[in-house]
Amino acid sequence: MKFADAPGFPGSDHQEPIRAELFSIERLEQHGQSLAAAQAITTESRKGRWLSPRVRDNARILRDSYRAIAEAIRDERSITPAAEWFVDNFHIVEEQLREIREDLPPGYYRDLPKLAAGHLKDYPRVFGLAWAFVAHTDSQFDPEALLRFVRSYQRVQPLTIGELWAIAITLRVVLIENLRRLAERVVAGRKARQEADALADRLLGLEVGAKAGEDLLADLARHPLPRAFAVQLVQRMRDQDPAVTPALRWLDERLAEQNTTPDEIVRAEHQAQAAMNLTVRNVITSMRLISAFDWMQFFEDVSLVDEALRDGSDFAEMDFSTRDRYRHAIEDLSRGSGLTELEVTRRVLERARLSNRSTNPMASLDGGMEHDPGYYLISKGRATFERQIRYRIPLSRRFIRLYVAGAAPSYVATIVGATASVLGLSLFGAAQSGTGARSLLLLGLLGLVPASHAAIALVNRFVAGLIVPRHLPRLELKSGVPESLRTLVAVPTLLTTEREVEELIERLEVHYLANPEGGLRFALLTDWMDAREETLPADDPLLEVAALGIARLNERYGLLPEGGQRFFLFHRKRIWNERQGRWMGWERKRGKLHELNRMLMGAGDTSFVPVGGLPLAVPSGIRYVITLDADTRLPRGAATKLVGTMAHPLNRPKFDPRLRRVVDGYGVLQPRITPDLPAHRERSLYRRISSGPSGIDPYASAVSDVYQDLFGEGSYAGKGIYDVEAFEASLAGRAPENALLSHDLFEGVFVRAAFVADIELIENFPSQYEVAAARQHRWARGDWQLLPWILGIAPDAEGRLRRARLLAIGRWKMLDNLRRTLFPPATFLALVTGWLICAAPALWTASVLAMIAVPAFVPIVDGLLPRRSGISKRSHLVNFAKDTITAFAQVCLTVALLAHQAWLMADAIIRTLVRLFVTRRKLLEWVTEAQTRSRFGFEAAGLWRMSGAVALAFLAACAVSVMRAAAWPSAMVPILLWAGSPWIARRISLPPRTVRTNPLSADERRLLRSAARRTWRFFETFVGREDNHLPPDNYQQDPKPTVAHRTSPTNIGLYLLSIVAARDFGWLGLSETIDRLEATLGTMRRLERLRGHYYNWYDTRDLRPLDPRYVSSVDSGNLTGHLIALAQACREMARRPLFGPCTLEG
């Protein structure tokens, strides 16, 4: 038998199972060394023979075999144990086939070294390795044996990184190949036995001496007798008299011709069946073990590259993603330089050792990144190292590097070109319709900002596609934050009401419970509310509530391992601010963090005051501060990840004393901000639309990703982690008092911020448009207060005007924020002016609306085709339709609220410019988000607060009516939307109405109770003492009644909930309910478990776990959820009366 579509495949001349001499581990190690010495590889690894056709053929044969055996089971024919194992576990086989398809892409397969000779010539070397392991272990997966086998192989011939990762997939391929051969033998044997039975039936049905029997036997004489056929015929004819039945004599003669006897062939067949049963069982069990095995750990245990990196650097302290980046870089450098991966590794380690020590007097801010091999693999030292090893850069990558090398001019030039194209296209249409030159000039000036809005969205998408985003390298910190990296989680906030103070204490506790490992400290940084007097009667009671809450947390969770307290309260006194005309905390949040940093560094002249008569307790040795807003949530493990990222050698800040800023590494990290899941009262249509993937909120967009990927810097948004010393050194003396409201971006420019896309913080997002608008107004005022630094001349801390030395990217970020604030008024004016002076107002309106729509629809178009395999077309189309509807809603909302946004931004800009250059007062005007939410409700007054939008709509309507009535068809819809925007904003901000539930009709109740009663009858009938009060998996009625005496954690959990439901329906009394629950829970205590987890299947009669033993995380999760629900149900039952309406109905 030969393979039809894989000529020359190993074993293609016959279908013997992959089985050779069974080796011990020691003998396997010897074989590994001899195999490595014998295997030579080709110089052209990208050429070779493909495994995928054979895998596809194996899949087809295995499915055909499954159907054939399943048909035999349905016909109630006997099958071998091997066939039973195969059919019962075919879902595992299907899973292996799926993983092979997904984990062996063509590009990866091409790069695997191929064998130059032998029966596996032109196949991957690692495939031969897997073949030998399977053959000499009889398909039994033993992690220790594999580990020692691979290590012994590499003593002679090191494997590449790609080959080590491919061991798992090639083992699966070989096991599938072996199972295919075994399945074919199982099916062929079953067919041979059927033919033997048919022949025996015909022979035994003939009369003595009938010539037909001789004819039947003569037909069989032309071919050798298959062993399964001969054995079955021997067993059927064994009790017959040879004198009466010539067939038995004939069979003896034929077997003698094949040099065997009936007894020998029966014995040989039984041995072959036993061996096949064992091998099939080994294959299936190995497939399951391979899927559950930790291949990452195995790879790192056998990788020679990893071993060298661990010995020569802090590689072992990094997280897996970072270690993998290093390895990928070594693979790439090896392919492009002709050096082996080990040679590249040794050279990069040597290069790191030879790097000179910095002479920076601020040693702690030296960075020291040159001493880490990653500096030459994935960072700025790579170009130098590439030249050193004569690396050949691929042509496609050269263009990307050229673009990135001139990032600022390249990015700005691309935006300018895209803006000119978008605007030019719109103006060309207007010119073609007869619009005059002066009108075109005016339209061009007004359309510049909206055109740039669309252009930047297109360019950002282009850059995102051009440059593959990379996560920042990170230390793993397995045991949490160590004392050497002491970190304070600080929450700057105001003490407003007793209820809010209690909520702040609760949130601080939640931060700790989500990040309890290591040396993290947690603190509230509090100020009192602004006041006209230095003290107010409500001040001390509020501070006392906060102090008692912190003391309660310290008492509840105890001291740190080294003896210090875990929770702190740092409170500042009010200081008179002449510019604001208020007693307030000095410089608000900026001053709070600045004074915290100074206090942590030993300063004693801050405005923090002792609380409760106790001296100020300041934690010592704090290196990093994680700052969060009061409504920000710190997810589980996020703090450790932030510290680990900050502490990695490539991210440590390098401070330049001359420039007084961080010039390499990062002084602050900004995680991704994700809107939280709103409570019922916080849900609204506005929130659903505007907090989507792109949204109309510019501060929630993905621009930071582009900045990070292209410029190597992100934008700081005020929530993240910073290096205390670098932060203070970079910002000391940078800005005067009463100058910065939005200080986050300013700080990120000098401290050098990075955007960390793979760590997220959860934050509340406004559900009301008015609350969001107030926040946007505050942001816009803060952005325009940075105008002196944008212009290049700004005051320092002493008020002296100095040259503001900003990097191009920093100045661009500030300018881009100003552009965003100009977008609503500029777009409003562009639309209205177009209606008045453009010869084709409809065409101009469509152009401007397209500019508005581009940022929302660019991600939609980009996601038109699915980027991942395994997603159904229906699911993709449904999600695509939802995203399209959301994008359309965002555009409609932007247009509807455009007039109010224009009014809002114009007010913010003018107000800021007057305060900045004329009055110099109220530049720190600010209220908390909680105060804003409490101030804006859903009353009719909200309509009046948006009257500016109505006024602009009225002016636009008058202008069009008086100057260009013909433009009304184009202007009508936008003007009506603007006039109705207060009502629209109110409607989309309303919480959802409470949905009334319709009671069931009498017929529906009868139908429900009938179905429920039949369901309960199953448990009532089959759950009892015989099954140890555990529910059997199923009851089969056809073809004969059979109870499946096995159960799973999901079955048990559902039965426990069914007991509660039966009690609710009135079919069980309280006593019987308790008896059933206690009986089942008592049995559960007796079940064998693995590290607290229940196995997936148990025999209900003797309670033993069924083979193969394994734990299902899905079933464990199901049972956990069921037990939580059961606990709540038991509490409710304890409060309910013994008898109620349900008792009578039951």
Helix (H/G/I), strand (E/B), else coil: 571: strand
pLDDT at 699: 40
- Please measure the distance between the N-terminal and C-terminal CA atoms of the chain and give it in whole angstroms: 68
CB distance 1129 to 1070 below 8 Å: no
The answer to whether the pTM exceeds 0.75 is yes
Q: Is 480 exposed, middle or buried (0-12, 13-18, 19+ CB in 10 A)?
A: middle
**Phi (first) and psi of residue 439, to 5 degrees:** -65, -40
d(CA 340, CA 346): 10
What parts of the chain have a pLDDT lower than 70? 1-14, 45-46, 203-225, 236-249, 251-253, 257, 356-367, 680, 692-704, 867-870, 930-931, 933-942, 994-997, 1038-1039, 1138-1146
Strand-pairing partners, residue 481, are 518
d(CA 741, CA 212): 107
What are the b/e assignments for 443-452, b being 16+ CB within 10 Å?
bbebbbbbbb
pLDDT at 8: 43
Name the strand (E) or helix (H) holding 1044.
Answer: strand 1042-1044
* pLDDT single digits (tens) 661-671: 999 999 999 99
Beta-carbon contacts of 841 under 8 Å, excluding residues fewer than 6 positions away, are 834, 835, 964, 966, 967, 970, 971
Pick the closest to residue 492 from 526, 543, 520 (CA basis). 526
pLDDT at 119: 83
d(CA 1131, CA 756): 44
pLDDT at 24: 94
Vertex 743, ends 738 and 749: CA angle to 5°?
A: 130
Q: Is 152 exposed, middle or buried (0-12, 13-18, 19+ CB in 10 A)?
A: buried
Tokens of 733: 């003396």
Tokens of 1119: 């049972």
- Cα torsion angle, 372, 375, 377, 379, sign: positive
pLDDT at 692: 60
CB distance 463 to 411 below 8 Å: yes
Q: What is the CA radius of gyration of the chain?
A: 38
CB distance 111 to 162 below 8 Å: yes
Tokens of 106: 């063509």
DSSP E strand boundaries for 496-538: 520-528
pLDDT at 145: 96
CB distance 637 to 617 below 8 Å: no
pLDDT at 247: 65
Pick the closest to residue 626 from 697, 542, 521 (CA basis). 521
Dump the DSSP string for 279-296. Answer: HHHHHHHHHHHHHHS-HH
